[in-house]
Amino acid sequence: MADIKSLKARKFINVLSHRQAKFEVAQAKFPTFSDNASVLAKALHPKRQYLKIESILERGEDCKSYTLVPDEEKGTTALAYFGAGKYLTVFETIEGMPVTRAYSISSSPKDSLEGKYVLTIKLVGGGLMSRYIFDTWEIGSKVEVSAPAGNFEYQPLRDAKKVICLAGGSGITPFVSMANAIADGDEDFEMTLLYGSRNSDCILFKDELAELEKKCDKIKVIHVLSEEKGRAKKGTEKGFITAELIKKYAPENEVYSVFICGPQQMYDFVDKELEKLNLEKKYIRHEMFGEFHNPATQADYPSEVPETVKITVTIQDNTYTVEGKTSDSVMQTLEKNGIAVPARCRSGECGFCHSHLLSGKIYVPKHLEYRRLADYKFGCIHPCCSFPLTDLELSVPTAK
Partner 1 sequence: MKTYDVIVIGAGNGGLAAAATCAKEGLSTLLLERHNIPGGSASSFVRGRFEFEPSLHELCGVGAPDKSGQVEGMFDRLGGDVDWYTHESTFRLVVPAKEGDDGAFVNEDGVLVTVDARMPVGFESFAQKLDELVPGSYESCMAAFDLSTRLFKALNSLENPSQLPGSLKDIPDIMRMVSHTMSEALDALGMPKKAQDIFNTYWCYLGSPASKLDFLYYMAMLHSYVEYGTGVPRYRSHEMSLALDKVIRRHGGDIWYNSEVTKIIMKDGKPAGVVINGEKEVYGKYIISNAYPYAVFKDLIDEKDTPKKQLKMLKSRKTACTLTTVYLGMNKTKEELGIKDYSIFIAPDSDSDKQYDVAQNYKSGYCIINCLNEIIPDCTPEGTSQLFLTTMTFGDVMKDIRPQDYKKFKTEIARDMIETCEKALNISIMPYIEEIEIALPPTFARYLNTPLGTPYGYMLEKWDSMLPRTVQYLSDQPFDNFFFCGATQERGDGYGCAYYTGEKAGNLVVNAIKKEGK
Tell me which residues in 75-94 interact with partner 1 (CB under 8 A).
80-81, 83
CB of 111 to partner 1, least distance (A): 12
Q: Residue 119: enclosing H or E segment and its boundaries?
A: strand 117-122
Rounded to 5 degrees, what are φ and ψ at 12? -55, -45
Q: Residue 39: enclosing H or E segment and its boundaries?
A: helix 36-44
Residues between 249 and 278 with contacts to partner 1, criterion CB under 8 A: none
User: Residue from 342, 360, 365, 388 that binds partner 1 (CB under 8 A)?
Assistant: 342
74 binds partner 1 (CB under 8 A): no
Residues between 381 and 400 with contacts to partner 1, criterion CB under 8 A: 395, 397-400
360 binds partner 1 (CB under 8 A): no
C-beta atoms surrounding 308 within 10 Å: 14
CB of 247 to partner 1, least distance (A): 22
Residues between 31 and 50 with contacts to partner 1, criterion CB under 8 A: 31, 33-38, 40-41, 43-45
C-alpha closest to that of 329 among 359, 300, 365? 365
Distances (CA, A) of 200 to 60, 176, 238: 12, 17, 10
234 binds partner 1 (CB under 8 A): no
> What is the Cα–Cα distance from 244 to 75, expressed in whole angstroms?
52
Taking each helix axis as running N to C, give the angle between helix 206-215 and helix 173-184, from 0 to 180 degrees, rounded to the nearest 10.
Answer: 30
Residues between 181 and 210 with contacts to partner 1, criterion CB under 8 A: 186
Residues between 141 and 160 with contacts to partner 1, criterion CB under 8 A: 151, 155-158
98 binds partner 1 (CB under 8 A): no
**How many residues sit close enough to partner 1 to count as binding (CB under 8 A)?**
77
The DSSP annotation for 191-205 comes to EEEEEEESSGGG-TT
- Stretch near partner 1 under the rule CB under 8 A, chosen from 230-238, 268-276, 305-313, 346-354: 346-354
| Residues ≥6 apart with Cβ < 8 Å to 144 | 48, 49, 50, 51, 90, 91, 92
b/e burial code for range 113-131 (CB count within 10 A of at least 16 → b): eebbbbbbbbbeeeebbbe
Length of the chain: 400
CB of 195 to partner 1, least distance (A): 25
User: Residue from 137, 175, 352, 363 that binds partner 1 (CB under 8 A)?
Assistant: 352
Residues between 284 and 303 with contacts to partner 1, criterion CB under 8 A: none
The gap from C-alpha 124 to its chain's centroid, in whole angstroms, comes to 18
- Stretch near partner 1 under the rule CB under 8 A, chosen from 223-231, 242-250, 267-275, 372-380: 372-380
Residues between 300 and 319 with contacts to partner 1, criterion CB under 8 A: 316-317
- Stretch near partner 1 under the rule CB under 8 A, chosen from 28-36, 122-130, 218-226, 233-241: 28-36
- Stretch near partner 1 under the rule CB under 8 A, chosen from 106-114, 199-207, 258-266, 384-392: 106-114
Distances (CA, A) of 188 to 157, 174, 289: 12, 16, 26
Which residue lies nearer to partner 1 by CB, 111 or 237? 111
